[in-house]
Amino acid sequence: MGTDSKLGRSNKRSGFFRKIGNSFSEFGKRFVDGSIGTKLSHFIFGAGSFYHGQIIKGLIFLLIQVGILAVMIFCPSINNTPYGWKALVNLSLKNVFEGGEFDPLTGEMAVGSDCKLMILFGFVTIALIFIYFIVWSINIASSYKADNDKKVGKKPTTFKDDLKELLDGKFHVLMLTPTCIAATVFTILPTIFMISLAFTTYNQQDMHNLGTNLFHWNGFQNFISVFTGEGSLGFEIKNRFLPVLGWTFIWAIFATLTCYFGGIILALLINKKDLKAKKLFRTLFILTIAVPQFISLLAVRNLLGEYGPINSLLQSIGWTSAPIGFLGLKATDSEILAKIMVIVINMWVGIPYTMLMTSGILMNIPSDLYEAARVDGASTLKMFFKITLPYVIFVTTPYLISSFVGNINSFNTIYLLTGGGPAYPGYQAGGTDLLVTWLYKVTIDQGSYNTGAVIGIFTFLITATITLITYRRSKAYNEEDTFQ
């Protein structure tokens, strides 16, 4: 079995290299075998299409080539930061072009430069180069296909034919292109940009102390100072990373399990035979899902606040003499209490959701399973542990994983309830801060973008490891194709 899978893997790998090799030889073949049009297409986009009389298609290819080349050569600039080849030079954050003008004399970065835009535009330019080569290969393939059509006596496709094909055989291209473009610009590019900030000195506090608005690449220095504790970045991360990480895990485990089992129990109660007003109860609990979270969480926060009704009730019945800081809003409040409170309040938020989800699943459990168990004299509790629970867990494993990852990244609950408090004087991360709320404070409130990026990369590594280990082994992933 083991050797089999190894063999399979090495086959896969050699298959991958063969594919690359094939595509190279394919290019060579096209250049040698192709018509004049195909040969010209290697240098002028759309030449092949013009050669075959596909004017509109050719114009589209040509326009893309001219457009991208123009950007690369003329370097249009926004906010004094250029795109194009200058952006590639600027990406070094050394000897940069300011305002689109080259200043070789100083060799120093001009004070007005905007380093973050330089990085951003550098990556945009790299993306443009990628697009250039993708269109290049599409344009050659298109011309080569028209060559072959001619060889077998068919007419090259017209623009109308191509459009029709877009609605049928190439329908996925039409449907996925908007998402691919949008995701590249608004998800992939920003993610790469933020990752890259982890390798820079972009920390507004430090920059302010040095009296500069410029930053530079500094390699893995930020990751090293996490362990040595150097600088403002290392100090914060070295002393607070492990406590925050530990709490993030404790939080995620408790938040996931309490809501999960609480939801199953609530669903069992509501779905109990002979119970009337099922729908009414279900609707009441859905109400907390429907009310926007920032409203319900802020309501709870104020309800439990220093001057709120709960504290005054506790004082008037004499249980406490001074208001209790349930949510750790002051540095002197109890950290343990705040931690317990956020987990409990999170149950209030999360249980109705699991209840809704499991209700449907509970109704799907074959009732003859229970009847058989009842004939054998099994108690209700036994039936719950032997039939209901295994069935529900089996069906909802993917949900459990995704809700665990979701809880690691659960921003709203913590930020709105405790704001991360009780605070640790001198540090950004408080007692109930998760990695994400810490990331938010460090970047948005403090402007320590490199620290935030380092925390973000750590968070990604954790969630990615958990997901890849559990999810890739799950049935839902491996048998995904069975529906196809």
Partner 1 sequence: MMNDISKKKVASQSRNRRISLAVTYTVLVILAIVWLIPLLWIFLSAFRCEYQADGTFIGRVTSNFFPRAIGFENFRLLFTKTYYGVDRAFLKWILNTLVIAVIDCIISTFLVLSVAYCIAKLKFKLRKAFMNITMILGLFPGFMSMIAIYFLLKSIGLTGNPTHPEYSLVGLVLAYSAGAGLGFQIAKGFFDVIPNALVESAKLDGCTNFKVFWKIILPLAKPIIIYQALMSFTGPWMDFIFAKVIIGADNAAYWTVSVGLYSMLFGTHPDTNLFTQFAAGCVIVAIPIVTLFMFLQKYYVEGVTAGAVKG
Closest CA to 455 of 242, 187, 201: 242
Of the residues 131, 289, 337, 369, which one makes contact with partner 1 according to CB under 8 A: 289
d(CA 51, CA 324): 82
Report the nearest approach of partner 1 to the CB of residue 127 (Å): 12
Query: Toward partner 1, which CB reaches closer, 230 or 249?
Result: 249
By CB under 8 A, tell whether 290 contacts partner 1: yes
Structure tokens at 296: 């319900």
Binding residues for partner 1 restricted to 340-359, rule: CB under 8 A: 348, 352-353, 356-359
Applying CB under 8 A, which part among 6-14, 61-69, 114-122, 235-243 lies near partner 1?
Answer: 114-122
d(CA 446, CA 213): 15
Query: Toward partner 1, which CB reaches closer, 1 or 290?
Result: 290
d(CA 230, CA 238): 9
260 within 8 A of 400, measured Cβ to Cβ: yes
The tally of CA atoms less than 13 A away on the side-chain side of residue 353 is: 17
Applying CB under 8 A, which part among 26-34, 49-57, 61-69, 392-400 lies near partner 1?
Answer: 392-400
Q: ∠ at Cα 115 (110, 117), nearest 5°?
A: 120
Of the residues 60, 69, 257, 361, which one makes contact with partner 1 according to CB under 8 A: 361
Query: Toward partner 1, which CB reaches closer, 10 or 283?
Result: 283
Binding residues for partner 1 restricted to 196-215, rule: CB under 8 A: none
Of the residues 405, 417, 423, 429, which one makes contact with partner 1 according to CB under 8 A: 405
Closest CA to 400 of 247, 248, 250, 252: 252
Report the nearest approach of partner 1 to the CB of residue 119 (Å): 9
Binding residues for partner 1 restricted to 247-266, rule: CB under 8 A: 266
Query: Toward partner 1, which CB reaches closer, 40 or 289?
Result: 289
By CB under 8 A, tell whether 75 contacts partner 1: no
Q: DSSP for 199-250, please give it.
A: TB---HHHHHHHT-S---B-TTHHHHHHHH--HHHHHHHHHHHHHHHHHHHH
Query: Toward partner 1, which CB reaches closer, 258 or 288?
Result: 288
Binding residues for partner 1 restricted to 19-38, rule: CB under 8 A: none
Q: ∠ at Cα 128 (156, 79), nearest 5°?
A: 140
Query: Toward partner 1, which CB reaches closer, 47 or 297?
Result: 297
115-151 and 2-33 are packed helices; what angle lies between their axes, rounded to 10 degrees?
A: 70
By CB under 8 A, tell whether 285 contacts partner 1: yes
By CB under 8 A, tell whether 389 contacts partner 1: no
Of the residues 76, 99, 292, 366, which one makes contact with partner 1 according to CB under 8 A: 292
Q: Which helix (H) or strand (E) holds 22?
A: helix 2-33
d(CA 450, CA 314): 45
Query: Toward partner 1, which CB reaches closer, 385 or 460?
Result: 460
Report residue 244: phi and psi, to 5°. Answer: -65, -45
Of the residues 54, 248, 296, 450, which one makes contact with partner 1 according to CB under 8 A: 296
Applying CB under 8 A, which part among 14-22, 135-143, 216-224, 297-305 lies near partner 1?
Answer: 297-305
Helices (H) and strands (E) counted in the chain, each on its own, are: 23, 2
d(CA 132, CA 64): 8
Applying CB under 8 A, which part among 51-59, 94-102, 243-251, 404-412 lies near partner 1?
Answer: 404-412
Report the nearest approach of partner 1 to the CB of residue 75 (Å): 15
Query: Toward partner 1, which CB reaches closer, 175 or 372?
Result: 175
By CB under 8 A, tell whether 395 contacts partner 1: yes
Structure tokens at 231: 């600088």
The tally of CA atoms less than 13 A away on the side-chain side of residue 219 is: 3
By CB under 8 A, tell whether 288 contacts partner 1: yes
Report the nearest approach of partner 1 to the CB of residue 484 (Å): 7
Closest CA to 85 of 110, 122, 116: 122
Q: What is the DSSP letter of 294?
A: H
Residue 13 CB-density burial (10 A; 0-12 exposed, 13-18 middle, 19+ buried): exposed
Number of chain positions touching partner 1 (CB under 8 A): 106
Query: Toward partner 1, which CB reaches closer, 26 or 230?
Result: 26
Of the residues 40, 116, 249, 324, which one makes contact with partner 1 according to CB under 8 A: 116
Site map (CB under 8 A) of partner 1, residues 154-183, x = contact = ----------x--xxx-xx-xxx-xx--xx
Of the residues 79, 321, 332, 367, which one makes contact with partner 1 according to CB under 8 A: 79
Binding residues for partner 1 restricted to 437-456, rule: CB under 8 A: 439-440, 443-444, 449, 452-453, 456
